Amino acid sequence: MEPRPGFEAAVWTRIHATEPILVPRWRGWATPLAMAAGMMFGIGLGLIVPASGKSVRTNPDSVQNGSLTSAYLMLASGGDH
């Protein structure tokens, strides 16, 4: 008994379909390296930017009496309750 026409070609097509796709070597380490570099950059910015900013303090004398800010400053400074 002879196999049907195209049998061998169909077998080879199925064999080639199951072979792994080769990926260039640099892709194996470039993606994790780029992700790690991005995370380090983000963490670095998160640590450096707040530390380099000026500290803004509100002068209690410049706040209007009766405002929410004055009430908060009074409460936070331990003033009259």
Q: Bin 14: left if φ > 0, else alpha if -120 < ψ < 50, else beta.
A: alpha
pLDDT at 53: 64
pLDDT tens, the chain, 81 aa long: 788 889 999 999 999 888 887 777 777 788 899 999 999 999 998 888 776 666 556 565 555 666 777 777 777 877 664
Asked if 75 and 69 count as a contact pair (C-beta separation under 8 A), the reply is: no
d(CA 38, CA 21): 28
